[in-house]
Amino acid sequence: MYIKGVNLGNWLVLEKWMSPALFDGTTAEDEYYLPRQLSPEVYEARIKVHRSEYISERDFATIRRIGLNTVRIPVPYFIFGDRPPFIGCIEELDKAFNWAEKYGIKILVDLHTAPLSQNGFDNGGICGVCKWSQTPEEVDFVLDVLEKLAKRYGRREGLFGITPINEPITEPMWTTMNVPNRYPPVEPELAAGSAPNTMEFLRGFYTRAFDRIQPNLKDGAFVVFHDAFRLKDWKDFLTQEKFTGRVYLDTHQYLMVAEAYGCEQTLNGYIKYIQENYARDIAEVQEYVPIVCGEWCLFNSLAVGVDTRGGQTALNGMDFTESEGLSPEKKKYLYEQLANAQLAAWENGSGYFYWNYKLLLDPCNEPNWRGWDCWDLGKSVDLGWFPANV
């Protein structure tokens, strides 16, 4: 099966920039501090309303209608409701499997966060902290969560696979993203000792996770390892006999990160980068393991009208109110070209998942969000930026 998918991000794992109103009345920048700055009653009400309204059966029908066959669902480490003050969300994932199976859609369950975080990003649950891999009891906790998920969904018709951990950061990306400065911690003492994960740790963790997950999976379901932003460093590991036919590799490729690597912020610059890096590298890796681009989108600084410095937002202190960006016609042409080029690159592998299915932003009325519409796949399809019925 060639995967044509989309992420259901910001449903069960929150990201402030994707739904700022959920954080109203707080200074929280991430999901860790949100319940610590709201009363339990207000927090519970916000979360339950958000989860019930953000994704519903109607969305699965829409995803099927626009020609997609798979969804990647980020879930938190507290999915089973055993890490107060957070509220579990296993019932929502149960519903998602029922909806997916009704519409012939597969699900990749993606463990998106870990206690004390695997990357220090806001999407890792707590900004500026990256100590999960240094804490053996929390590593064991994550392995227990993964085994529970595998036992609960491993035989479901709708399961495509399970990702043991999303975007575990290693040294190169830690430096490129300048994590301690881009995501300053609220409590420096809690962040003390934060550091990128080592490849040695990740290989050991992936092996342990595979051994806990795979025995519970039906034939045709997979363990999907994230590449830790080191796409071509896994060949010896992934070609072990035990993994053959049972694993996929997941890589995340964003043009905003390409910009951080020096990609020229022009249409020709983007196309050249896509062809000379994405397409070539994915074809090379696909020779020895099925590879899927688990996150990508159309977002780029050219469309915004100003260098976003690797995708930083107004929440990072950026000011886009004076940027004019491109005209609607030029923006549509740019996005169409970038969509086609990236879709062609992913065809060198086993598929893709767009990030993200929807956002709760208002770029029309809030100048600081101009140019961020394209993260929203539904809007991108409706506006003709992304091909319908791909």
Q: What is the CATH number of domain 3-382?
A: 3.20.20.80
How does residue 279 score in pLDDT terms, banded at 50, 70 and 90? very high
Q: What is the pLDDT of residues 55-89, one digit of tens each?
A: 999 999 999 999 999 999 999 999 999 999 999 99
Q: What is the pLDDT of residue 188?
A: 96
DSSP at 193:
T
Single pTM value for the model = 0.97
Phi, psi dihedrals of residue 200, rounded to the nearest 5°: -60, -45
Strands (E), 91-181: 106-111, 159-163
Q: What is the pLDDT of residue 120?
A: 97
Q: Whole-angstrom Cα distance, residue 159 to residue 218?
A: 9
Q: What is the pLDDT of residues 173-213, one digit of tens each?
A: 999 999 999 999 999 999 999 999 999 999 999 999 999 99
Other CB atoms within a 10 A radius of the CB of residue 254 amount to: 18
Strands (E), the chain: 3-7, 70-75, 106-111, 159-163, 222-226, 247-252, 291-295, 351-354
How does residue 309 score in pLDDT terms, banded at 50, 70 and 90? confident
Do 331 and 379 touch, CB atoms closer than 8 A? no
- What DSSP string runs through 269-293? HHHHHIIIIIIHHHHHHHTTS-EEE
Q: What is the pLDDT of residues 217-276, one digit of tens each?
A: 999 999 999 999 999 999 999 999 999 999 999 999 999 999 999 999 999 999 999 999
Say whether pLDDT at 50 is over 90: yes
How does residue 152 score in pLDDT terms, banded at 50, 70 and 90? very high
Instruction: Report CA torsion sign: 89, 95, 96, 97.
Output: positive
Structure tokens at 353: 């998942």
pLDDT-wise least confident of 41-55, 198-212, 353-367: 353-367
Q: What is the pLDDT of residue 73?
A: 99
Q: What is the pLDDT of residues 8-19, one digit of tens each?
A: 999 999 999 999
Q: What is the pLDDT of residue 312?
A: 81
Q: Whole-angstrom Cα distance, residue 122 to residue 142?
A: 19
Q: Whole-angstrom Cα distance, residue 279 to residue 40?
A: 48
Say whether pLDDT at 96 is over 90: yes
